[in-house]
Amino acid sequence: MDEAAFINSETIDDIAVGAAFLGTGGGGDPYIGALLAREALDRHGPVRLVQLSHLNDDDALFTSAMMGAPTVLIEKLLSLEEADSAVRALERRVGRTATAVIAAEIGGVNATLPIAFAAFRGLPLVDADGMGRAFPALQMGTFNVAGVSCAPVALADEYGNTVVVESLSAAVAEKLARPVVTAMGASAAISCYAMTGAQAKIAAVAGTITAARKIGEATRRDSASATPPLARLIAALEGLPLYRRAREVFHGKITALSRDTTRGWVLGRCEIESPDRRSHAVVEFQNENLVIEIDGAVAVIVPDLITIVDYETARAIPTEALRFGQRVSVIACCAPAQLRTPAALEVVGPAAFGLTGTYRPFDTPPQ
Amino acid sequence: MDEAAFINSETIDDIAVGAAFLGTGGGGDPYIGALLAREALDRHGPVRLVQLSHLNDDDALFTSAMMGAPTVLIEKLLSLEEADSAVRALERRVGRTATAVIAAEIGGVNATLPIAFAAFRGLPLVDADGMGRAFPALQMGTFNVAGVSCAPVALADEYGNTVVVESLSAAVAEKLARPVVTAMGASAAISCYAMTGAQAKIAAVAGTITAARKIGEATRRDSASATPPLARLIAALEGLPLYRRAREVFHGKITALSRDTTRGWVLGRCEIESPDRRSHAVVEFQNENLVIEIDGAVAVIVPDLITIVDYETARAIPTEALRFGQRVSVIACCAPAQLRTPAALEVVGPAAFGLTGTYRPFDTPPQ
């Protein structure tokens, strides 16, 4: 038995730490999902992790995720019954029963919730996801870019109410589902992008559960290594073909913060000052960090990954946990190649977020 | 062949005029529905009107209505494809095909749209509805009071997008559907309260399509009668066992108006001054007129019907067509008995609209 092919209550913490990094500030607190996953793994046994290439073409893959403002995901307890209610509504609608679970995004709670749900249902989890990171809207990801239909989209609240959206595009599904989530109390369980194994092989970003685990392992608190956590994090990222190059683009203290959750997301900005007070960075976010400007110039922009981490521990700090005076580093790494194609940049590039900057890959050599 | 048992393009105008009155200010402009209905009747032939008591117990009844702010219903063109899209989504979900159409409400556009839809689908229309008037929310009506499940609720927009809400109560269906309607452009086609003939016999208000036609006939512009339209309207209402007693409770000129459509309804008030300027009335509405206060005292309150009509023609003036300086009469009549039971008053009485006044039947003799 290949141990790496199973997720158990020991590996779950590393995955949660890695998912917090890949969440780039958003995606909700993965530790809540991890708590739920540990409980489910303890009760139902380990979850088998299946590689994308090992799927049968006629496998029926279902996503299980939470939709809503991450700040609310923390306040409202997740329940697997709620997650199950959404997936069952979608299974009923498409007339298939899940043979495997796939994460919609590898960032935040939506990386760990599918593990808990797979345990709950006794299903394997695919070592892949639809973003290679986290994004704030349903249409933003490789499933949509590859032509997998986002709809039907099933939403469920904690009382057993469900809503199924059938739309002609993922962007319209997002537009119709978002206000339902707000009406359901600003967060809801969601299942969408029901797909076959054959579709997933084309549409998903492969190896991301394992990538999250490796990122988590590298920054583990109890590591015997003499190398500081930040250096270990960067080395781990550079060792992953998915993320290729990584670098600390800024460090300093948080001097200003603004956050607004009224529109169904956490929108805002975080300002950071360098230790010598000569340099200033501004990180803008919509759930996820979208762009970092250093002294007025764009340094890194979506879809490349921008994560604010604790300067000492290298642990990712979700947007909702940012505090005035925190000493932080901003780590950037390359977006998976599937997010950098022209078709992908149309749905996850700067313009998709209303940003005016053009996308310049983070690892482009200086001109 | 009993002519009254068919709706054709001649009877549709009378039904529209009656439905405007029974809409008590809301329900959307019935003339738009009438235009659509006339076109559908011309194309597909007359619609058979079936009495509630003649339904088979296993008939599959479907409602077809528009949900949203009446002001928007005027601006957005209705389409039967949109209506059909909502009904088909509901048929798919409940696994039955409509054998007859029933109106959700006899007020406004939702009285005439079901006629157009019945013609379009070649189905009979039941001479009944679920309100005996119009109300602004899904849970407000006799279907819900009698225990017919409002859910599943199917919504459709003009592009072919649909949303199906499954909720544990009609009030929750309302809460989840309303923001979807807003996201669909502030009005949408809806189908809900799918029921059997047996259920309808208990839950529906009987004879309301015919009642609307009779009210329309009485106030017909080309009537040969020497009696003024207002007197004919009141006589027609008093001749209908459903509405029993009617009276002009106020007349004068509109001196002030306020309307707010930002919350998915038209909320506001209309102030009227008597010709001698000594008496003042205030009509408050939430799509429909809810209460009229005359010189500070409640004169009539929901569920009794309050309709502002043109002083000369006795034609109902929908909320969105009220104008400063208009000379109007306020006509009140009794709510159908099914709306006056203690169970009904819980969902359609003053408290259900956040009004503090207690319900006192309009026809209670003065103390």
Which ranges in chain A belong to alpha helices (H)? 11-22, 30-44, 70-75, 80-94, 109-121, 142-145, 170-183, 197-203, 208-218, 229-238, 342-348
In this predicted structure, what is the pLDDT of residue A206?
Answer: 98
Given a cut of 80, whether residue A362 has pLDDT beyond it is yes
pLDDT in tens, A259-305: 887 776 788 999 999 999 999 999 999 989 999 999 999 999 999 99
For residue B302, give the H/E element and its range: none
Q: What CA–CA distance (Å, rounded) separates A231 from B217?
A: 85
Give the residue carrying structure tokens 């949509």.
A144
Q: What CA–CA distance (Å, rounded) separates B308 from B318?
A: 8
With beta carbons under 8 A apart, name residues in chain A contacting B162.
165-167
**Least confident segment among A24-38, A166-180, B13-27, B90-104:** A24-38
With beta carbons under 8 A apart, name residues in chain B contacting A89.
166
In this predicted structure, what is the pLDDT of residue B366?
Answer: 67
Mutate to test the interface with A, among B90, B163, B262 (most CBs of A within 10 A): B163
Residue with the larger pLDDT of the pair A293 and B186: A293
Dig out the tokens for B291 from the structure: 């209460």
Given a cut of 80, whether residue A242 has pLDDT beyond it is yes
Inter-chain touch A180–B179, beta carbons under 8 Å: yes
With beta carbons under 8 A apart, name residues in chain B contacting A94.
none
Inter-chain touch B165–A168, beta carbons under 8 Å: no
Given a cut of 80, whether residue A31 has pLDDT beyond it is no
Given a cut of 70, whether residue B252 has pLDDT beyond it is yes
Is the separation of the CB atoms in B184 and B67 below 8 Å?
A: no
Helix/strand/coil (H/E/C) assignment for every residue in B141-204: CHHHHCCCCCCCEEEECCCCCEEEEECCCHHHHHHHHHHHHHHCCCEEEEECCCEEHHHHHHHC
Chain A residues with at least one Cβ partner in B under 8 Å: 89, 159-168, 172, 175-176, 178-180, 182-184
Q: What percent of chain A has pLDDT over 90?
A: 81
Chain B residues with at least one Cβ partner in A under 8 Å: 89, 159-168, 172, 175-176, 178-180, 182-184
Inter-chain touch A159–B180, beta carbons under 8 Å: no
Which ranges in B208-318 belong to alpha helices (H)? 208-218, 229-238
In A, minimum Cα distance to B159 occurs at A168
Is the separation of the CB atoms in A47 and A41 below 8 Å?
A: yes
Considering only CB atoms, B165 lies closest to which of A159, A163, A182, namely: A163
Inter-chain touch A179–B184, beta carbons under 8 Å: no
Q: Which of A72-81, B9-18, B20-29, B344-353 ranks highest by mean pLDDT? A: B344-353
CA distance B261 to chain A (A): 17
pLDDT in tens, A175-224: 999 999 999 988 899 999 999 999 999 999 999 999 999 999 998 876 67
Q: What percent of chain B has pLDDT over 70?
A: 95
Q: What percent of chain B has pLDDT over 90?
A: 81
Q: What CA–CA distance (Å, rounded) separates B253 from B234?
A: 20
Label residues A161-175 b or e (16+ Cβ within 10 Å = b): bbbbbbbebbbbbbb
CA distance A255 to chain B (A): 37
CA dihedral B169, B171, B173, B178 (to 10 degrees): 180
In this predicted structure, what is the pLDDT of residue A4?
Answer: 56
Given a cut of 80, whether residue A78 has pLDDT beyond it is no
In this predicted structure, what is the pLDDT of residue B75?
Answer: 55
Q: What CA–CA distance (Å, rounded) separates A140 from A136?
A: 7
In A, minimum Cα distance to B173 occurs at A161
Is the separation of the CB atoms in A164 and B164 below 8 Å?
A: yes
pLDDT in tens, B45-88: 999 999 999 999 999 999 999 998 766 555 566 789 999 999 99
CA distance A268 to chain B (A): 24
* Banded pLDDT at A27 (limits 50, 70, 90): confident
Average pLDDT score over residue span A248-254 = 97
In angstroms, the Cα distances linking B342 to A101, A325, B171, B193 are 50, 60, 18, 22
| A292 φψ region: left (φ > 0), alpha (ψ -120 to 50), beta (else) | beta
Dig out the tokens for A108 from the structure: 């935040």
Question: For residue A353, what are the β-bridge partners?
Answer: none
pLDDT in tens, B320-352: 889 999 999 999 999 999 999 999 999 999 999
Q: What CA–CA distance (Å, rounded) separates A74 from A156?
A: 17
Question: For residue B65, what are the β-bridge partners?
Answer: B190
Considering only CB atoms, B179 lies closest to which of A159, A161, A183, namely: A183
CA distance A188 to chain B (A): 12
Label residues A87-113 b or e (16+ Cβ within 10 Å = b): bbbbbbbbebebbbbbbbbbbbbbbbb
In this predicted structure, what is the pLDDT of residue B51?
Answer: 97
In this predicted structure, what is the pLDDT of residue B33?
Answer: 80
Give the residue carrying structure tokens 């960067």.
A234
Considering only CB atoms, A176 lies closest to which of B175, B178, B180, namely: B180
Q: What rounded mean pLDDT belongs to chain A? A: 92
pLDDT in tens, B107-136: 988 999 999 999 999 999 999 999 999 999
CA distance A171 to chain B (A): 12
Considering only CB atoms, A168 lies closest to which of B161, B167, B184, namely: B161
| Residue whose C-alpha is closest to residue B32's, from B12, B47, B49, B62 | B12
Residue with the larger pLDDT of the pair A231 and A10: A231
In this predicted structure, what is the pLDDT of residue B266?
Answer: 81
Q: Can you tell me whether residue B270 is helix, strand or coil? A: strand
Q: What CA–CA distance (Å, rounded) separates B179 from B161?
A: 15
Residue A337 CB neighbour total at 10 angstroms: 13
Inter-chain touch B180–A182, beta carbons under 8 Å: no
* Banded pLDDT at A70 (limits 50, 70, 90): low
In this predicted structure, what is the pLDDT of residue A1?
Answer: 38
Is the separation of the CB atoms in B25 and B320 below 8 Å?
A: no
In this predicted structure, what is the pLDDT of residue A26?
Answer: 87
Q: What rounded mean pLDDT belongs to chain B? A: 92
Question: For residue B252, what are the β-bridge partners?
Answer: B328
Going by the DSSP 8-state scheme, the letter that residue A137 receives in this structure is S
Dig out the tokens for A52 from the structure: 């994308």
In A, minimum Cα distance to B184 occurs at A176
With beta carbons under 8 A apart, name residues in chain B contacting A167.
161-162
* Banded pLDDT at B225 (limits 50, 70, 90): confident
With beta carbons under 8 A apart, name residues in chain B contacting A172.
159, 161
Is the separation of the CB atoms in B287 and B134 below 8 Å?
A: yes
pLDDT in tens, B273-305: 999 999 999 999 998 999 999 999 999 999 999
Dig out the tokens for A43 from the structure: 């009760």
In this predicted structure, what is the pLDDT of residue B219?
Answer: 87
- Characterize the bridge pairing of strands A65-68 and B195-196: unpaired
**Least confident segment among A5-9, A77-81, A135-139, A140-144:** A77-81
Inter-chain touch A168–B176, beta carbons under 8 Å: no
DSSP A263-320: TSS-EEEEEEE-TTSS-EEEEEEESEEEEEEETTEEEEETTSEEEEEETTT--B--GG
Given a cut of 60, whether residue B205 has pLDDT beyond it is yes
Is the separation of the CB atoms in B62 and B258 below 8 Å?
A: no
In A, minimum Cα distance to B161 occurs at A167
Question: For residue B293, what are the β-bridge partners?
Answer: B282, B298
Helix, strand, coil percent content, chain B, rounded in steps of 5: 35, 25, 40
pLDDT in tens, A115-167: 999 999 999 999 999 999 999 999 999 999 999 999 999 999 999 999 999 99
